[in-house]
Amino acid sequence: MIPSPGSPTHPGDARVGSVPTWDDAPCPVLVLDAHGRVVGRNRAARLLVPGLPSDDGSSWEPPGWLSDAHRRHTGGTAEGAPSGTIGDRVFEARPTPTADGVAWWLVDDTDRRLAEAALLRAQDRTDTASLLFSTLLSSLNVPRCAEIAARMAADHLADAAVLVTPPVGRGYAVTHARRGEPVVQETRQVDPHGVPGLAEALRGFPPVPARWINPDDIPGWVVPDGFAGPVGSVIVTPLPGHGVPAGALILLRSGTEQAFTPDEERFARLFAARAGTALSAARLYSEQTAITATLMRDLLPPALHSVHGVEYAGRYRAAADHERVGGDFYDVHPGADASEETFVVLGDVAGKGLDAAVLTGKIRNTLQALLPLASDHQQVLSLLNGALLNSHHARFATLVLASVKRHGDTVRLRLTSAGHLPPLVVRADGTVEEVDTRGTLVGALPTTPGRTAETELAPGETCLLYTDGITEARGGPLGDELFGEHRLRKALAECAGMPGEAIVERVQMLAAQWLGSGRHDDMAAVAIGAPRRGAPGGTGGRNAVAGRPGR
């Protein structure tokens, strides 16, 4: 930019005429001579730096950044447009040669820089928020989630953070975090009314503005150990949850730090809202996990041991590797003493997964209630059949019932099948016999006629109850052949004299190897064995079978 035609030769003599001149420019203009002295300025420059003793400004020293830029410009080493501050404003200087030196046009760049700084802060806050929120949602454990929230609040929002969750009993879970220090979690009895706004925040009420909180009113239990200096600024904000408050967050800054700004308060509330969501999700997951674990204890097959001198062993594998329960089940209900029979049941509900497991639980509970009648297999099956027909389930089940009692060195069994695969007996010489029992499945027809068979196990012999998930396991070289009863019989023949635990383990292993990675149904197996002579026979009482009470 150069002076317009008609401009005075000497910039210092500029006067307003009928033709606009550089003196009328809206931005300040300073003219510096070869020595860096101010030899002229326009009206905007005089308003920018008022009160100079001379009109040409020669007694005023230009700011250092402009003097350096002028020196580089006159020396031919200038690079880019220099900028700096004059008063509380930021200017960018652009040179134009004149007869007396260089006219520096000072373009006010303050607002643009403030806008850029605000944009950068917003972008940084957005990036920080994204990191914070993704990290918060990475854990579904309540203490771990509280630890992450407190630590990240201390690292990004304040010098220290205290997270307080609703009380459990008379104690509050309190999480303390200081920037760069380990997080401390404890349960303690505190008075939330002692902290301005904390009692309200724990009830989910809107937060109290930080400017209303006197830092001197903060009790000692809030301030973490090692906090630098007195508390200078405090934010107390609720942690909103799913319908109920998830807790409250207290942010602390020391007296030497800058007080919380309104923007920081808003961001803290946004952070608290996301932290509350994460804590609520973690708490909901923990509650559901606890409920699932409680219900699962009754759905999972029990661990089996020796009872009244008879060996019992069981193995179960659900249809899907990620599931723990399904439609196959077994139970062993010991008699009151060795003079009474032990009642054993193994069954297979149509279907698999959780729906089948629900009906499995109902059948097991019904059989538990029918234990006083366990000696009469046909009556038990008839009553169970009626219960299933009157339920809302449209599924049926197959069962095999066994009443077991030891007589000297031998074990006597009464076995009744209800539409189930017949039990197999492994004799001491390797012979595999099928127990001749037949019957109708339960839950489908009005009656369940069946036939009870009796057998006796000599020392070292075993009776195996199993579900069709084993014999119908589809695999082999081409993946389309059933494991079949003949392979099962062959495997059992090789297991002659082995303990029941080893037999069920081998059967499950062979079936799994036959399957490979293919899909399969639920698989369950129970072995009832007579201990070998000289082996310590179990004398466990009525509760020797884990997971289910005895009669």
Q: Is 531 helix (H, G, I), strand (E, B) or coil?
A: coil
Predicted confidence (pLDDT) at residue 514 exceeds the cutoff of 70: yes
Facing residues of 474 across strands?
A: 482
Q: Please check whether residue 366 is in contact with residue 308, taking contact to mean a CB–CB distance below 8 angstroms.
A: no
Q: How many CA atoms lie within 13 A of 118 on its CB side?
A: 7
Predicted confidence (pLDDT) at residue 384 exceeds the cutoff of 70: yes
Q: Shortest CA distance to 221 belongs to which of 252, 247, 243?
A: 252
Q: What pLDDT score does 171 carry?
A: 87
Mean pLDDT of the chain: 85
pLDDT confidence tier of residue 321, bands split at 50, 70 and 90: low
pLDDT confidence tier of residue 20, bands split at 50, 70 and 90: low
pLDDT (average), residues 304-328: 85
pLDDT (average), residues 413-419: 96
Length of the chain: 551
Strands 462-466 and 474-475: unpaired
What percentage of residues in the chain have a pLDDT greater than 70? 89
To which H or E segment does residue 124 belong? helix 110-136
CA atoms 253, 255, 258, 259: torsion sign: positive
pLDDT confidence tier of residue 242, bands split at 50, 70 and 90: confident
Q: Shortest CA distance to 463 belongs to which of 533, 413, 524?
A: 413
CATH pick for 138-294 out of 3.40.190.10, 3.30.450.40, 3.40.50.300, 2.80.10.50: 3.30.450.40
Give me Rg for the CA atoms of the chain.
43
pLDDT (average), residues 392-396: 75
Task: Confirm whether 25-51+60-111 and 138-294 share one CATH topology.
Answer: yes
Q: What pLDDT score does 25 carry?
A: 83
Q: What pLDDT score does 4 carry?
A: 42
CA atoms 424, 426, 431, 435: torsion sign: negative
pLDDT (average), residues 276-294: 86
Q: What pLDDT score does 427 carry?
A: 96
Q: What pLDDT score does 542 carry?
A: 41
Greater model confidence, 2 or 166: 166
- pLDDT for 132-153, tens place per residue? 777 777 778 889 999 999 998 9
Q: What pLDDT score does 433 carry?
A: 96
Predicted confidence (pLDDT) at residue 7 exceeds the cutoff of 60: no
Q: What pLDDT score does 375 carry?
A: 93
Kindly indicate whether the domain formed by 301-530 is annotated with CATH number 3.60.40.10: yes
- pLDDT for 469-491, tens place per residue? 999 988 888 878 899 999 999 99
d(CA 183, CA 175): 7
Q: Is 223 helix (H, G, I), strand (E, B) or coil?
A: coil
Structural domain spans, the chain: 25-51+60-111, 138-294, 301-530
Predicted confidence (pLDDT) at residue 543 exceeds the cutoff of 50: no
Greater model confidence, 77 or 468: 468
d(CA 357, CA 468): 17
pLDDT (average), residues 167-188: 89
pLDDT (average), residues 260-280: 89
CB atoms within 10 A of CB 549: 11
d(CA 469, CA 138): 38
pLDDT (average), residues 350-366: 83
CB atoms within 10 A of CB 538: 16
Residues 6+ apart with CB under 8 A from 546: 302, 303, 304, 305
Structure-token pair, residue 365: 């509970």
What percentage of residues in the chain have a pLDDT greater than 90? 41
Amino acid sitting at position 433: E
To which H or E segment does residue 368 belong? helix 354-369
Fold held by 25-51+60-111: Beta-Lactamase (3.30.450)
CB atoms within 10 A of CB 327: 27
Predicted confidence (pLDDT) at residue 495 exceeds the cutoff of 90: yes
Q: Is 84 helix (H, G, I), strand (E, B) or coil?
A: strand
Q: Pick the most confident of 18-27, 70-79, 152-161, 251-260.
A: 152-161
CB atoms within 10 A of CB 87: 9
Q: What pLDDT score does 41 carry?
A: 86
pLDDT (average), residues 202-215: 89
Q: What pLDDT score does 302 carry?
A: 87
Strands 481-482 and 247-254: unpaired
Q: What pLDDT score does 544 carry?
A: 43
d(CA 328, CA 299): 10
- pLDDT for 72-116, tens place per residue? 888 888 788 898 988 888 999 999 888 888 999 999 999 888 888
DSSP code for 66: H
pLDDT confidence tier of residue 211, bands split at 50, 70 and 90: confident
